[in-house]
Structure formats: structure tokens, C-alpha cells
Structure 1
């Protein structure tokens, strides 16, 4: 059986074929859409939802499987509370440093030529360095400013300057702050640069035509427009630092100053038998903190989207 030819209509002296209608119904399209998303849902369910459910259930169980609130109560005192406070302190400081210096670098890039080589180099470098973490990053700092790093030896031999005269700061919170800031700044560039690109030149031109100064523009136009994006990026950097593990684990070999290293102790230690669920409670605390930060990030991003319409 031969399929009917498409109907043609004469328009302006020529023949134009009318579009053929799709015979697939809404149910067919919905099925195909769900079929495409099934692998993603399976991945999320296996590596995110299921582990989170195990952590949530284990946080309220004792060693015998019974219900208890003792695990959560332990998080509010002693070494575990101090670990949470240090993690929050580390995340807040590195997020603030990364946001400030990253915003300044983003601004320097945004005012230049959008197609120029400096902008492309900075954006490409930020994309690489934002993902440069874990053991390679820790090794890079150890080889550079560690006890036997080449910069440490150069300063000691040439100028008599000892970077570790006050102690092994690189392997404590000050060192983690420096290392974390290394990948926080490029992440800020990636997140904040599109917001700077969203500033319309017409706004500055209108301010100039009305006799306003640069300070007036940034106070009444540029600042309020960019503030939601800056706060959203700040929250994203906080969550990124709070959940980082590999870099701290490779750099800090003794002690557990932050929560991820406390959890490592419960997973790998042999002297904490019967307290494994306390590690799950620590994980639940991290999920709550990161969830709150990302929830605030979503709220701020919605506010920023209003200025982009």
C-alpha cells in the first residue's frame, strides 16, 4: 500500500508541502521521556538515595539494631561537636576568601575582551583548577611548601626564612585553609562570571547620562543585581568545602580535626567496634548542613533569576 503524498498548497505562486502531523500520542512521548531518564534515576537511586537512607536509618540505631537517640546526642558534645565547629569554621573562611578573590578575578576578566585570549585562558584554567583536588593537590602543596618542598628549601637556604618556625601549620587548619582556597577561587570564577556578564551596558549608560558616578552605579544598580548571585556562590563554596574529604585525608595523617576525617575513623578504625552508627550520625549531620546550604542557594538563585528576565 502506497502512503498518501503530502498535501500541497499554492502560496505566492509556488507549491509548499503541508507539514506531516506526528502520529505519536502524548502517552507515547511520555513513555519515551521516562525511558531516557531511567538510567539517570537508577544512578541517583543507587549512589545517592540508597546510601542516604542507610545513613538516616543507622543514625537512630544502636549496636543491636534498636532505636536510640544517643548517636545524635553525642554530636552535641566533646570531640564530635568540636569537629563540626572546625568544619564550619574552615568552610566559612575558605568560602569567604574564595568568593572575594574569585569575584575580583571574575570582574577583571569580565571588563576585558570577551573573545580575547586572557579571558579564554582564565576560564579554561578555572575549569581545570576547580576540579584539581584530592591526593594530587595535597602532593602539590607538600612538594612546594612542605617540610622538604623546593620553595621551603629555597627560602631557608637563600634568605634564612623558615616557613615552619611556628610549627607544622600546613597539616593543621591553617594549612587546610590555604589548600582549600586554592580550588575555591577558580570555582567562584566559574559560578560568578556569568552573573557579571549579565550586567547590561544600558544600565551603566543610563546612569552616566543621568550624571551618576561609578560609586552610585555599583551602590544602586550593580551591587543589588549581583548580590544574590554573590551570596548564592558563597553558599555553594561553603557546601563544597564542608563536604571535601580527599584533600584533607591526604594532607592530615594524624588526628581528625574535621567531620569527614572523623567519619573516616569510624569506617577504618578497629578500636570503635560497636560505635559504627555514630559515624552514620556524623554523616547525617553533614547531610543536614549541606542540605540547608544548598536550600538557601536555591532560594537566592531564584531571586537572582528575576533580574535576568
Structure 2
């Protein structure tokens, strides 16, 4: 067959239009579907990030300055960052360890068993359970007038708050944060445990390997990268949490999110909102580093799989 040729007005020839060129109906529909998501990301993620980035380098008059960033490296602001990092690291480690143990217990059972379904469903709910409801639940349980506190005091004479209101300080935040860190670890780490093939253990045993040998040379190295990635994810999750701490700690600002709240809503720090934006930029950098390392680890795990 002879390819169709079209003649231009000047006497020349032009190539026939390729059927694959130009927008297709499927492409248009795909863009129509993704536009609302891009708009949502732009309004609620990109635009606030740009405002924080610009405000961190401005003074109260809008002039360029680096004083906001230098103030973060001293005094109460530096202490708030260290306390936030300490709180996030401790709760991430506790959540990773206990969540991994719970995931291992679930993975050892039947794939379609009742225990697995209950634990996975509960983890999906509890990982998102935070803010005011979680703070109220802990105060009603182990607060000054909580039923566990009153029960221990009336029955055994044990006072949970002898000389310290720890529930409203970093120890209390650690306990509350660990509550939603463990379920998140179950959700993230359970698929990695499911990826361990029974044939690997059988091969180890057939070669005379013990349980310790299997976990030392096979299971442990395979699960190390997913465990480390989940640990970084839990760290970022705790570092960026705000609602639970804001509902639990009514006075003082021991961590960075509460420091930012004081700058944006307090009446004592008027005219220093840009210092709060500098604190927000510091949080973005810390979380960005953690999530960048998490993405690199996930890429390595996906290549291995």
C-alpha cells in the first residue's frame, strides 16, 4: 500500500499526521482526575511551605534577615528541638521494638486467622487515633483522677503522681505517643515479615542451621532495612505530631510544635511570627531528612525484592 501524502498550498508535501500524536481522550480524562489532587497539594502543602520558607528569612518589617535562623541555635528554641528529637527517637524506638514483636506474633499465625484480622484492623484504627480524644482517654485512665490512678491509690496505696505531674511532661508524652506508634509499626512492618519465605528457613535447617543461625544470617539481614525504614517513619511521625501534645500540655512549650503554636496564637510574642516560621522550617528540614533516608531505604528494599 502507498502511504497517504497531502499536498500543501505551496506545492510541497507534508507527512500524514501520526495517529499517536495529539491529546487523546484517555489523557484528558487522566488529567481531569489528577487536577483536584494537584490543587489540593498546592493549596495545603506547597503554598504553606513557600510561606514558611519566605517568612523564615524576613523580619517583622518584611526585610531580609538571618536572625530568625540564628535564634534557633540558642536558648529555649534549641532546647525545644533537642526535646522533640529525644521524644521522637524514644517513641520511635519503643514503637519499633514492640510493634515488630507484635507483628512477628501475628505473622507466625494463620494468614487468614482471627487474631491477624483483629490485630490488623485494630492497628489501622489506633494508628490514626490521636489528638484530643487520645489525650482525654489517657487523662481519664492515668490522670490525677483517672480510674487506674484511683484504683491503685485506694486498693494498694500507690500514688502515680507522688511529687511529679509526669503525665503533662515529656514522660507523659512518651507514653501517649507510643500508643499510636506501635500500631503504625504493625502496619508498616508486617508486610516485610510476610515476605520471609518458608523455603529459606527449611533450607537453613536442612544445612544444619539452628534458629539463631537462620535469624543471624538470613532473617535478620533481610529485615534490617525494612526495620530501619519503619524506624525513620515512626521518628518523622512523632516529630511532626501536634494535636495530642497540644491537648495534653496546656502550659509551657517543651517541644517545637508547641513553640510554634505560641508564636502564632500567643499575645506575648506579637511581631515575632516569622520566628515561628523559622521553627517550622527547621521541622521541615528534620522531617525531610528522615523521609529522604526512608525513601532511599525503601528503594533498596524494592530492588532486592
Class of the TM-score when normalised by the shorter of the 2 chains:
over 0.9
Partner of 2:193: 196
Gaps of 5+ in 1: 1-22
Check if 1:107 corresponds to 2:129: no
Q: Distance in 2 between matches of 1:104 and 1:186?
A: 11
Partner of 2:129: 132
1:38-57 aligned within 5 A: 38-57=35-54
Contact persistence 1:97–1:181 (CA under 8 A): yes
Shift of 1:25: 5.8
Partner of 1:288: 285
Partner of 1:16: none
Offset from partner CA, 1:37-91 (integer Å, 9 cap, x none):
1110000000000000000000000011000000000000000000000000000
**TM-score when normalising by structure 2:** 0.92
Q: Secondary structure, in 3 states, of the residue corresponding to 1:27?
A: coil
Q: Distance in 2 between matches of 1:166 and 1:231?
A: 38
Gaps of 5+ in 2: 1-18
- Given candidates 238, 242, 247, the residue that maps to 1:241 is 238
Partner of 1:149: 146
Change (3 A) 1:26 1:191: farther
Offset from partner CA, 1:143-165 (integer Å, 9 cap, x none):
00000001100100110000001
Check if 1:27 corresponds to 2:60: no
Partner of 1:70: 67
Check if 1:180 corresponds to 2:173: no
Q: Distance in 2 between matches of 1:31 and 1:298?
A: 31
Contact persistence 1:225–1:307 (CA under 8 A): no
Q: Secondary structure, in 3 states, of the residue corresponding to 2:241?
A: coil
Contact persistence 1:102–1:188 (CA under 8 A): yes
Q: Matched residue pairs, number? A: 286
Shift of 1:167: 0.5
**What is the root-mean-square deviation in Å for CA atoms of aligned residues?**
1.1
Offset from partner CA, 1:116-169 (integer Å, 9 cap, x none):
101100000000100010000000000000000011001001100000013100
Shift of 1:202: 1.1
Shift of 1:26: 6.4
Partner of 2:14: none
1:295-306 aligned within 5 A: 295-306=292-303
